[in-house]
Amino acid sequence: MSLPFSEVNPDEIPPLKTPGAVPGIASKSDAKPGLFRLSIRFKLTFPVLIFVSLMTYFLFNTTFRLVRQLAIEKNTSRLLATAEVYAETLKVPLLLNAPQDVKDIMEWMGSRSDVLEVRLEDSSGKVFESIHPEAQIPEVVKDPKFNGVFTVSPDTYAAAVPLMAEERNLGRVVVLFSHLGFDLELKNIFFERLVMAFAMMVLLALLSMGVTWLAIRPIFALQQTVRKILAGNLNARARIRSFDEIEDLGEAFNEMVSRLSSSLDRLRSRTEALEESEEKFRQIVEGASDIIFAFSGEGELMLLNRGFAGHPREEFFRQGFSLFAALNSEDSRKVFEAAMDEVCRRKEPMLNVPLTCVNAQTEEEIFYLLSLTPLFDHDGNLKLLQGMMRDVTELRRVEMMKDSLIRDVTHELKTPAAKFQMTVDWLEKELDRQGLKDSFKDLLKILHSNIDRLMNTVSSVMDLSKLESGSVQIDRVIFDLREVLQQVFQDLEPLVRQKGLALEASLGSRPLMVSGDKNMLYRLFSNLIGNSLKFTPRGKIMLRAFLNDGKVRAEVEDTGVGIEPEFLESIFERFVQKTAASLGIGVGLTICRDIARLHEARIWAESEGLGKGAIIKLEFLPQHLTN
Amino acid sequence: MGSKVLIVDDDDELHILYGLYLRGESFTILEAFNGEEAFTLMEKDKPDLIVLDMIMPVMDGETFLRMIQGKGELKKIPVIIASVNDKIPAELLKFGNVRTVLRKPFTIQLLSETIQKQLAS
């Protein structure tokens, strides 16, 4: 199972091979059907060409009309002049009254190819001479009052010129000119030119195709580069030297590719670094000897570094929380679930919760210490519940072995010693009965004191061992300390009195509630009194208990030999003794200190100096603060 | 005083030691080496007080105590538990006949005093 890091495979970053992903670059075969495509060359040239064609045609047309008009005017004026000349020429023979000359002249006039008819009219409009009488004269011209040129068609004109002789109107001369084919010729000329123009247009079109293609070529080069990049060559760049916008595009494109490429490289190297880091941490986590796991806020198993208790890792991921719970023995399961609950609720870690699980395969018990740490996001919601389980089965086994060892050793030491004592006691009694006690007084004394010493030493060492091995479990009860003190007082008072001292107790009238182990506290105070007993030759020992500022305080004061200031702290150390000859091996106060520690109570000594007695004081935490 | 004290303990040396001392104090001593034996003895000869060791073969102190609770007359006899064990189940201490617990090893005088005290009350 991966750690909650995203897995990014740089090789899987899509290389944009999907067709159509880069619009416009799609080749013809990739083009979607129905998509109309028109090359930019056509888009550029066609409108121009069409416009130019239209303009050309328009120009030609208007020019043609203009030229025709001009030609007609030119013709009419020329023809008018010709007709006037004719009229003048004919006037002479007419005035001379030589009809034959008139006719000859008219014949001659009519012999011109472009003269269709020459006609003479008298002043009333009657035609008296005509060379081609069948010629069609337009009605307008027939009107005797008409003078000038009438354009029948661009090819045909009718001119009528009055014959004037000194103010006398002799009539009219009507000439019909025709230059057949003139118009057609004109049209042909223009048409020819137009055709030529269009031919030029076509050439121009072809030329522009060529030119545009050349201009477009850099775009192909760009296309080429893009294809290379798509194929995977990220170093491909477009080399475009077209001195135009395409070159700019090429440069911009290159820049873009470079930047993207370096971003990609950075991303890749970061991903690699991330993967390396992830791998490293994965190895560390999976290699850890403890079981490391994490649940999401919704209770889904996100991480587990190994399987355990006879179940493989996969099974845990399949079954999740329920398998974790089911692994436990019955009581342990409640503890486990309660711990999970509490951590989520209180939003605080819980450490070293003891669990008992059963190995699914071997059915052996496994002991774990569970530590849970909640992790929260910015809004304070539970993001991850991280846990560690340490297999302490071996440790526990060792501890239990230690415990039983200590127990056994204790037993093995104490029992013989006790029996020793009992034997000596009986012997003493028997000798006393027989009246021989005095003879053996010294021997008996030696026996007694040494047995006491042995017993004490054994007890102290055993108790200290137990305490220091950490294998002592406190039975935590909340009770009135005065109970224990009362008991201590009762039990030790005879002993103290025996030594010639007085034991006093002042326990107050109010209950002094503490949380702890009655037996251990009994031991503590009897040790303290025993200690005082050792160092107080005469006077009294006082046992006090009271409330001080909400905290329970207990004190043992004596009128004994006192403690020098430099020893006030060290007396609680192991094996530190006032004098070598003192009874015991000097662990009594150490035991007291250890018991006090277990109860989270403070213990210290006060003394005004040598010969001024000493007080050992004990202060418990205020009740509501202890667990 | 002539009181009968039943010592129930699997350790024969202790029997000798207790016996020597206590007989000297004018107690009558009955000896049993386990709970079962104790029962048998008690049926014939009811003691005035029992000194009970907890760890014994055949029938241990706890079982013996529990069994006694069912026996009308016997359950009234005061019992002093003498044991090496730190942990005596709280339940047992609640039995009416269990007067006190002496932790081994104790001095024989202490035992004698305790016996006398319990018989007196």
pLDDT per position as a tens digit, B72-95: 888 888 999 988 766 778 888 888
Determine, yes or no, domain membership for A148.
yes
Taking each helix axis as running N to C, give the angle between helix A182-230 and helix A245-287, from 0 to 180 degrees, rounded to the nearest 10.
20
- Is A422's CB within 8 Å of B17's CB? yes
Query: Is residue A194 scored above 60 in pLDDT?
Result: yes
- Is B105's CB within 8 Å of A423's CB? no
A426 touches chain B (CB under 8 A): yes
Task: List CB contacts (< 8 A) between B109 and chain A.
Answer: 425
For chain A, what is the mean pLDDT?
Answer: 83
Determine, yes or no, domain membership for A102.
yes
- Range list of H helices, A469-517: 481-498
Chain B nearest-CA distance from A573, in A, is 26
Domain termination residue (choose one: A341, A368, A391) = A391
For an interface test with B, give the residue of A406, A411, A414, A422 to mutate (most B CBs within 10 A).
Answer: A422
Inter-residue contact A229 to A253 (CB < 8 Å): no
Q: Which long-range contacts (C-beta less than 8 Å, at least 24 apart) are formed by A22-27?
A: A22/A226, A22/A230, A25/A223, A25/A226, A25/A227
Shared domain for A44 and A5, answered yes or no, is no
- Is A426's CB within 8 Å of B108's CB? yes
Query: Which CATH number goes with the domain that contains A433?
Result: 1.10.287
- Is A421's CB within 8 Å of B21's CB? no
pLDDT > 70: percent of chain A? 91
Inter-residue contact B67 to A377 (CB < 8 Å): no
Tell me whether residue A583 is exposed, middle or buried, using C-beta atoms within 10 angstroms of its C-beta: 0 to 12, 13 to 18, 19 or more.
middle
Task: List CB contacts (< 8 A) between B85 and chain A.
Answer: none
Tell me what pLDDT residue A623 has. 65
More confident residue, A371 or A462: A371
Chain A nearest-CA distance from B106, in A, is 7
A224 touches chain B (CB under 8 A): no
For an interface test with A, give the residue of B14, B53, B84, B108 to mutate (most A CBs within 10 A).
Answer: B108
Which residue in the block uniquely carries the two structure tokens 């002789």?
Answer: A165
What is the distance between the alpha carbons of residues A142 and A131, in angstroms, rounded to a whole number?
16
Q: CA–CA distance from A324 to each of A3, A226, A335, A388, A393 (Å)? A: 19, 56, 12, 12, 18
Shared domain for A465 and A481, answered yes or no, is no
Q: What is the dihedral of CA A407, A410, A412, A415, to 10 degrees?
A: -120
Tell me whether residue A448 is exposed, middle or buried, using C-beta atoms within 10 angstroms of its C-beta: 0 to 12, 13 to 18, 19 or more.
middle
What is the distance between the alpha carbons of residues A208 and A44, in angstroms, rounded to a whole number?
9
What is the distance between the alpha carbons of residues A246 and A250, in angstroms, rounded to a whole number?
6
Q: Which two tokens stand for residue A42?
A: 């056509």
Tell me what pLDDT residue A568 has. 86
| Closest CA in chain B for residue A413 | B105
Inter-residue contact A369 to A389 (CB < 8 Å): yes
Tell me the residue range of the domain where A459 lies: 392-472
Query: Is residue A294 scored above 90 in pLDDT?
Result: yes
Query: Is residue A582 scored above 60 in pLDDT?
Result: no
DSSP A23-47: TT---TTTSPTT-----HHHHHHHH
Determine, yes or no, domain membership for A191.
yes
Tens digits of per-residue pLDDT, A481-538? 998 999 899 888 888 888 889 999 998 888 888 888 888 898 899 889 988 888 888 8
Chain A nearest-CA distance from B109, in A, is 8
Q: How confident is the model at residue A579 (pLDDT cuts 50, 70, 90)?
A: low
Count of CB atoms situated within 10 Å of the CB of B15: 17
Determine, yes or no, domain membership for A246.
no
Give me Rg for the CA atoms of chain B.
13
Tell me what pLDDT residue A21 has. 44
Shared domain for A593 and A483, answered yes or no, is yes
What lies within 8 Å, CB to CB, of B111 at 6+ separation is B18, B21, B22, B51, B80, B82, B102
Shared domain for A103 and A180, answered yes or no, is yes
Inter-residue contact A579 to A449 (CB < 8 Å): no
SS3 B44: helix
For an interface test with A, give the residue of B7, B9, B17 to mutate (most A CBs within 10 A).
Answer: B17
A198 half-sphere exposure, CB direction, 13 A CA radius: 9
Query: Is residue B1 scored above 70 in pLDDT?
Result: no
Shared domain for A364 and A467, answered yes or no, is no
Query: Which CATH number goes with the domain that contains A14?
Result: 3.30.450.20
- One-letter amino acid at A485 equals L
What is the distance between the alpha carbons of residues A402 and A355, in angstroms, rounded to a whole number?
21
Task: List CB contacts (< 8 A) between A420 and chain B.
Answer: none
DSSP A229-286: HHTT-TT-------SSHHHHHHHHHHHHHHHHHHHHHHHHHHHHHHHHHHHHHHHHHH
Inter-residue contact A110 to A131 (CB < 8 Å): yes
Q: Among candidates A499, A581, A569, which has minimal Cα distance to A540?
A: A499
- Is B24's CB within 8 Å of A423's CB? no
Shared domain for A87 and A215, answered yes or no, is yes
Tell me what pLDDT residue A421 has. 82
- Segment A572-581 mean pLDDT: 66
Q: What is the dihedral of CA A331, A335, A336, A340, to 10 degrees?
A: 150
Tell me what pLDDT residue A583 has. 55
For an interface test with B, give the residue of A411, A414, A426 to mutate (most B CBs within 10 A).
Answer: A426
Shared domain for A66 and A90, answered yes or no, is yes
Give strand pairing partners of A174.
Answer: A119, A160
Task: List CB contacts (< 8 A) between A430 and chain B.
Answer: 24
Q: Which two tokens stand for residue A155?
A: 């090819």
Tens digits of per-residue pLDDT, A122-177? 878 788 888 888 888 888 888 888 888 888 887 888 888 888 877 777 788 888 88
Closest residue to B21, CB basis, from A417, A422, A519 = A422
Give strand pairing partners of A502.
Answer: A540
Tell me what pLDDT residue B51 has. 93
Pair type for strands A502-506 and A540-548: parallel
Q: How many Cβ pairs within 8 Å bridge chains A and B?
A: 43
B20 touches chain A (CB under 8 A): yes
DSSP label of A442:
H
Task: List CB contacts (< 8 A) between A519 and chain B.
Answer: 86
Tens digits of per-residue pLDDT, A77-121? 888 898 888 888 888 888 888 888 888 888 888 888 888 888 888
- Is B104's CB within 8 Å of A418's CB? yes
- Is B108's CB within 8 Å of A425's CB? yes
Query: Which CATH number goes with the domain that contains A509?
Result: 3.30.565.10
What is the distance between the alpha carbons of residues B79 and B61, in angstroms, rounded to a whole number?
11
* Angle A268-A270-A274 from CA coordinates, rounded to 5°: 115
Task: List CB contacts (< 8 A) between A472 and chain B.
Answer: none
Tell me what pLDDT residue A259 has. 94
Residue A32 region, left (φ>0) first, then alpha (ψ -120 to 50), else beta? beta
Task: List CB contacts (< 8 A) between A411 and chain B.
Answer: 84
Q: Residue A388 belongs to what H/E stretch?
A: strand A382-391
Give strand pairing partners of A159.
Answer: A149, A175
- Strands across the sheet with B98-103, in order? B28-32, B4-8, B49-53, B79-83, B98-103
Inter-residue contact A131 to A108 (CB < 8 Å): no
Tens digits of per-residue pLDDT, A404-433? 787 788 778 888 888 888 888 888 888 888
Domain termination residue (choose one: A472, A499, A517) = A472
Query: Is residue B50 scored above 90 in pLDDT?
Result: yes
Chain A nearest-CA distance from B108, in A, is 6
- Is B107's CB within 8 Å of A421's CB? yes
3-state percent breakdown (helix, strand, coil) of chain B, nearest 5: 45, 20, 35
Whether a cis peptide bond, with omega within 30° of 0, leads into A10 is: no
Chain A nearest-CA distance from B87, in A, is 10
Query: Is residue A461 scored above 50 in pLDDT?
Result: yes
Shared domain for A496 and A596, answered yes or no, is yes
Determine, yes or no, domain membership for A78.
yes
Tell me what pLDDT residue A22 has. 45
What lies within 8 Å, CB to CB, of A389 at 6+ separation is A290, A291, A293, A308, A355, A368, A369, A370, A371
A421 touches chain B (CB under 8 A): yes
Which residue in the block uniquely carries the two structure tokens 């760009």?
Answer: A222
Chain A nearest-CA distance from B43, in A, is 30
Inter-residue contact A551 to A620 (CB < 8 Å): yes
Residue A85 region, left (φ>0) first, then alpha (ψ -120 to 50), else beta? alpha
Shared domain for A122 and A159, answered yes or no, is yes
- Segment A438-464 mean pLDDT: 83
Tell me what pLDDT residue A275 has. 93
Q: CA–CA distance from B64 to each of A14, A33, B74, B114 (Å)? A: 83, 101, 11, 21
Task: List CB contacts (< 8 A) between B9 and chain A.
Answer: none
What is the distance between the alpha carbons of residues A407 and A462, in angstroms, rounded to a whole number?
8
- Is B106's CB within 8 Å of A430's CB? no
Q: Residue A518 belongs to what H/E stretch?
A: helix A518-535
Shared domain for A460 and A513, answered yes or no, is no
Closest residue to B105, CB basis, from A418, A426, A429 = A418
What is the distance between the alpha carbons of residues A560 and A582, in angstroms, rounded to a whole number?
14
Shared domain for A69 and A104, answered yes or no, is yes
Query: Is residue A466 scored above 90 in pLDDT?
Result: no
Domain termination residue (choose one: A441, A456, A472) = A472
Task: List CB contacts (< 8 A) between B106 and chain A.
Answer: 418
Tell me what pLDDT residue B6 has. 94
Q: What ipTM was predicted for this assembly?
A: 0.80
Pair type for strands A382-391 and A350-358: unpaired
Chain A nearest-CA distance from B20, in A, is 7
The total number of structural domains in chain A stands at: 4
- Segment B23-38 mean pLDDT: 90
Closest residue to B21, CB basis, from A414, A417, A426 = A426
| Closest CA in chain B for residue A426 | B21
Determine, yes or no, domain membership for A239.
no
Q: Among candidates A357, A360, A362, A419, which has minimal Cα distance to A392?
A: A357
Determine, yes or no, domain membership for A625.
yes
What lies within 8 Å, CB to CB, of A299 at 6+ separation is A320, A321
Shared domain for A106 and A139, answered yes or no, is yes
Determine, yes or no, domain membership for A6.
yes
- Is A415's CB within 8 Å of B106's CB? no
Q: What is the pTM of this model?
A: 0.46
